[in-house]
Structure 1
Amino acid sequence: MEHMVEMSVAEEARAGRRQAVLLADLGPVAQLRAGNLARRLPQLLVGLVLYGVSLALMVRGSIGLAPWDVLHSGLIRHVPITLGQAVVVMSFVVLLLWIPLRETPGIGTIANAVVVGFSADGTLALLDPAHGFAARTALMAGGVLLCGLASALYIGAQLGRGPRDGLMTGLSRRTGWSLRLVRTGIEVAVVLVGLVLGGVLGVGTVVYALAIGPLTQLMLPWFIVDVEGVPS
């Protein structure tokens, strides 16, 4: 969920100058002072709701989940909670790791921790499992595409990093390692833990890992709300 936020200098160059210039790093107060809240807050909410929907689509496709969701799916095999509740619980666990990393949560951080999980559970309650390879593949592909769109929406709203994004950027800042290396290390770790717990790994996991970055990069310029020049 939250897998594409602030980019390293090299990644920004690949993403294009427009993204590098317009993506700002604002504190919670500056996020509110930046203005355009009439657009940014609904865009954030829509992005997070759609993110939860995308998670549910991949679950119903049953061809593999995103790395963090491999962990969530393994967790619910041992704890009597829903998948969406596992997303919420793990989001707040990850936020505890922000404390030693000295990361500052924003409005979108807390919203991300709560809304995505509830949206996923709501969608799972309405959507039946798919039958047949074609239907399952369509749900998986639709989930990946929708996740790219959802990521672009909530990142473009510029209202703060998601919990897992902040863990990535915080570790990168404290260790000096690249975002790519840190992100890869985190996602390999959560997949391994998820597999030990009995989580769902499949072709969809690989498709997600390969596609979500390019998809988000492609769509992000469409949804960035320009807050350039606002003091952080």
Structure 2
Amino acid sequence: MKIFYTRLLRLIWGLFLYSLGIVVTLNAHIGYAPWEVFHVGLAKTTGISIGTASIMTGVVIGLIAVLLGEKIGLGTILNMVLIGVFLDMIIGFQIIPVLNNFPLGIMMLIIGLFIITLASYFYIGSAFGAGPRDSLMVALTRITGLPIGVCRGIIELLAVFIGWRLGGMLGIGTILSAFLIGFCVQVTFKLLKFDATEVEHETLDRTYKMLFRNKKEQPDDEEMPGNY
């Protein structure tokens, strides 16, 4: 159980960092990140809220990832819920300044992207199941054999294009994010010697069985999934 709670803390920490990274990119004030462009465009087209658009997008992408062979776990579900909670908390505390300087905005945007990719390292590595978008990224990497950064970049560019066609707002930061996120993923994962495709994710049913079966039936630490 100690290993389980360590992994759970790693997951929650990763989701918090992800939210922090999003706020940093937003407060760079040079354009929405790719997925925010998509969420805003979808919300405008359908008349739903941006939050609802984000949840619906996550569910659809999660289903696609499952069809491509990825596993859905506790981390996938918490990704959809906690990122929004942490976003509201960080924005509410106003701890990240909003910039109105373009050169500094670019630097802040890049820092935010690296925070997001570091967050991905933590919560994907917890092995509770990657978030919907990261599950799709990993699935495409496994299927196509392309570098993980390239697959991430392709997904982000598609999100930007579709979101823009639906009426989402574009900015210089949007274009930079779409092109740089793949590079940031590639560099961060390489420096940390982390291969997201080798992580054996724990499914929801396996997590349930591990938590509620008898203590004597629990697996040894070495049998626990994950990449530490």
Same fold flag (TM > 0.5): yes
In 2, Cα distance between the equivalents of 1:144 and 1:71?
17
Larger radius of gyration: 2
CA distance in 1, matches of 2:32, 2:192: 22
- Alpha carbons 2:66, 2:72 under 8 Å: kept: no
Distance 1:169 1:99, change over 3 A: same
Shift of 1:105: 0.5
Three-state SS of the structure 2 residue aligned to 1:155 is: helix
> 2:223: which partner in 1?
230
Gaps of 5+ in 1: 1-31
Provide the rounded CA distance (Å) in 2 between the counterparts of 1:122 and 1:154.
Answer: 19
1:165 to 134, 144, 147: 134
Matches within 5 A, 1:120-135: 120-127=87-94, 129-135=98-104
TM-score (norm 2): 0.68
Pair 1:116-2:75 in alignment: no
Q: Percent identity?
A: 30
Secondary structure in structure 1 of the residue aligned to 2:100: coil
Change (3 A) 1:148 1:170: closer
Q: TM-score, normalised by structure 1?
A: 0.67
* Cα RMSD after superposing both structures: 3.4
Query: Does the CA-based 8 Å contact 1:65-1:200 persist in structure 2?
Result: yes
For CA contacts below 8 A with separation 6 or more, give which structure has more relative contact order. 1
1:88–1:117 CA contact under 8 A, matched in 2 = no
Gaps of 5+ in 2: 201-219
Out of 72, 75, 78, the residue aligned to residue 39 of structure 2 is 72
1:195 lines up with 2:134 in the alignment: no
Q: Deviations over 1:124-168 (max 9, x none)?
A: 344363222254234313312211221121122222122122223
Q: 1:68 Cα deviation (Å)?
A: 2.7
Give the whole-Å Cα distance in 1 for the aligned partners of 2:188 and 2:85.
Answer: 24
Tell me the residue number matched to 2:63.
Answer: 96
Q: Say if 1:47 and 1:150, in contact at 8 Å, map to a contact too.
A: yes
Would you say how many aligned residue pairs link Structure 1 and Structure 2? 194
